[in-house]
Structure 1
Amino acid sequence: MHFTGTVYRNPYWETFPLLQITQGCTHNKCKFCTMYRDVPFKLQPMEWIEEDLKEIAKVAPDASTIQLLSANPIAMTYDKLAPILEMINRYLPKMEYIYAATRVTDIRNKTVEQLKSLKEMGLREISLGIESGDDFTLERINKGYTYADILEQCHKLEDAGIDYWMTFLNGVAGREHSHAHAVNSAKIFSQCKPMLVGTGGLTLFPGTPLLKEAHRGEFTPLPEKEMLIELKTFVENLTCYCSFITHHTVSGKNLTGPDFLKRKESIIAALEREISHGDLDAMAAIRSGKRSL
């Protein structure tokens, strides 16, 4: 298999096998991330992809799911992506679900009809690293799009019938803009129809521009209690019919699962308990021990 350098797979997709079709990230400028900082974006050679599919077909000929790698493989145009999906189906004829993580901007270069075609070839579910629905925060962390872009591209996915996840990055606005980040993100997320909303807590990794800004006093990281308060504010304002996952920030007990709206009040109550009685030092220790997103 041709796995090159850093690759990322969604840990919540229990998919086997994995197929790398791109290297690096097209944007590679988010201030909180260094995952692909030294990996230039490029397409995996088609001969490598075909060789990998031949190998997969020998090991798992009945595979019905596959996850595409690396950072944002859906960035490639329809004309380049469609032949890869066709090749997957040729070598793995029982394929049903093709998954991929990607950026909001990767949907721009595809029409709804092209997205429908990709779905027919198996692209059923994607994960979008939204991080925030607040324009000030999006510009502050250099995500490369606005909340209007989020709404436009997510609605295209809905029209095409492709399921998608949205992520909220707890703490990324810092203390200075925490409340607006939480409220405005929930507002934008609630205007979309994600199958799942996931939240993660910010860790300032060595080498990230955001850590350097924190050292210069230009960014004030949230301590654990304020992270929980921000997450609670986000949950209080979120009105999506979706599943809900949270990690990085709290223990996760009673927080993760389907039917968010039915469980919303219990999630809020669990967060309130964490705010009042949680082991904040233990949470901080877990965060400080993280080495990557």
Structure 2
Amino acid sequence: MHYTGTIWRPPYEASSLLLEVTAGCTHHRCKFCTLYADLPFQFRMSPMEDIEADLKEAQKMYRRFMGRKVSRTFLTGANPFVLKYDRLMEIAGLVHKYFPGMETIGSFARVTDITLKSDEELAALHGAGYDGLTIGIETADDEALRFMDKGYLAADILEQCGRLDKAGIRYSFFYLTGISGAGRGEDGAKATAAVCNKLHPLLVGANMLTIYPNSGLYQEIRRGNWKEESETEKYREVRALVEGLEIPTEFAALGASNAFQLHGVLPEDKKKLLAFLDDVIENVGEDELRRYRESVHHL
């Protein structure tokens, strides 16, 4: 299999066939991000012959060792959905050629990737199996989005994910707790909940900002341009997000950046999630939470 660098996937894609079709990120400017720092290039598309060779290899592997049907493929790379419509359709054709029973194809996507497809192309991609995208919206706080150089604003999240809803392509959001900075986290969480409430994400996941010395954000802090939230503030921020969500969706905080794992279905589990977060806020000290943050040497 042609895998390049560290392969990132959401927790819920653990049983998916991981197929590399891109490596790196087309944007590569988010100040907090270090996920693709190990690559000697910014972004690369996999040759179609490599993709087909990997599918042939995976087909043999699943037949010989797995003893089970694979129903989902997850395309790896920071934002494979940036690929042009024709290439995505060609990839889908190869997936279905070697795995005729494949039901869905997912990937990470940036909000800006959706703008590159017409409504008709999105509908056709859904028909070819594309479903269950994972979008790191991070926040709907425009000030934070501008400062972190995300390349879009809250209005773009609403417009482009609304187009996914129309096309029938389901998606999950990831929120980055702490992205708004000290004293502003709860406002950012409320703004994000308000945007989510106008859309239909399958899941809203929360990760916690962990700042590394090789990030642009670390340099902004050293220059005095930005201040990190306390760890307790971050949990108040997560609480504000959960409290503000009014749509039926899953909520999860399961990644390594979270000192405490959370998972529930909204609205029925909201009280339970809020009670758990209240317990953390009231009974777990800042020093203990900070020790955990400092122990996360790599995501």
**TM-score, scaled relative to structure 2:** 0.92
Asked if residue 19 in structure 1 is aligned to residue 25 in structure 2, the reply is no
Q: Secondary structure at the match of 1:60?
A: helix
- Out of 99, 119, 126, the residue aligned to residue 119 of structure 1 is 126
Equivalents in 2 of 1:141, 1:291: separation in Å?
22
8 Å Cα contact 2:70-2:101 kept in structure 1: yes
Whole-Å separation in 2 of the counterparts to 1:126 and 1:288: 31
Look up the match of 1:190.
197
Instruction: Give the corresponding residue for 2:267.
Output: 261
Aligned length: 290
Deviates more, 1:196-205 or 1:226-235: 226-235
Displacement after TM superposition at 1:279 (Å): 4.6
Report if aligned partners of 1:200, 1:249 keep a CA contact under 8 Å in 2.
yes
**Residue number in structure 2 paired with 1:88:** 95
Instruction: Please identify, of 158-167 and 111-120, the stretch whose mean Cα deviation from structure 2 is larger.
Output: 111-120
CA contact (8 A) 1:250 1:274 kept: no
For structure 2, the 5+ residue unaligned runs are 64-68
Does the CA-based 8 Å contact 2:264-2:273 persist in structure 1? no
Note if contact 2:259-2:292 (Cα within 8 Å) is conserved in structure 1.
Answer: no
1:251 is aligned to 260
Matched, 1:101 2:108: yes
1:38-77 to 2 correspondences below 5 Å = 38=39, 39-61=41-63, 62-77=69-84
Q: Is 1:273 equivalent to 2:282 in the alignment?
A: no
For 2:129 and 2:34, how far apart are their aligned partners in 1? 31
Letter in 2 for 1:57: Q
SS at match of 1:194: coil
Secondary structure, in 3 states, of the residue corresponding to 2:86? helix
Which amino acid in 2 is paired with 1:201?
M
Q: Distance in 2 between matches of 1:129 and 1:213?
A: 22
1:21 Cα offset (Å)? 0.1
In 1, distance between residues paired with 2:95 and 2:251?
30
Q: Structure 1 counterpart of 2:44, which letter?
A: K
| Fraction of identical pairs, as percent | 38
Deviation, 1:7, is: 2.6
The residue identity in structure 2 corresponding to 1:33 is: C
Cα pair 1:6 1:24 within 8 Å, conserved: no
Q: How does 1:133-172 map to 2 (within 5 A)?
A: 133-172=140-179
Shift of 1:98: 1.4
Q: Which moved more, 1:35-44 or 1:238-247?
A: 35-44
> Residue in 2 aligned with 1:284?
290
Q: Is the 8 A contact 1:228 1:249 kept in 2?
A: no
Unaligned segments of structure 1, at least 5 residues: none
Deviations 1:131-161 (A, max 9, x none): 0011111101111001111001111111111
CA distance in 2, matches of 1:250, 1:285: 10
Shift of 1:206: 1.9
Deviation of the 1:266 alpha carbon: 2.1
- The farther-off stretch of 242-251 and 103-112 is 242-251
Alignment check: 8 A CA contact 1:249 1:283 kept: no
Report the alpha carbon displacement of residue 250 of structure 1 after superposing the two structures with TM: 4.1
Q: Deviations over 1:194-222 (max 9, x none)?
A: 01000011100121111111122221111
Aligned counterparts, 1:211-222, within 5 A = 211-222=218-229
Alignment partner of 2:131: what SS?
A: strand
Cα offset, 1:106, TM superposition: 0.7
Structure 1 residue 115 displacement after superposition: 1.6
- Rounded to whole Å, the distance in 1 between the matches of 2:181 and 2:238 is 13
Match of 1:34 in 2: 34
Give 1:235 deviation, angstroms.
Answer: 1.8
Give the RMSD, CA atoms, in angstroms: 1.5
Provide the C-alpha distance between the structure 2 equivalents of 1:11 and 1:249, rounded to a whole number of angstroms. 13
Q: Secondary structure at the match of 2:106?
A: strand
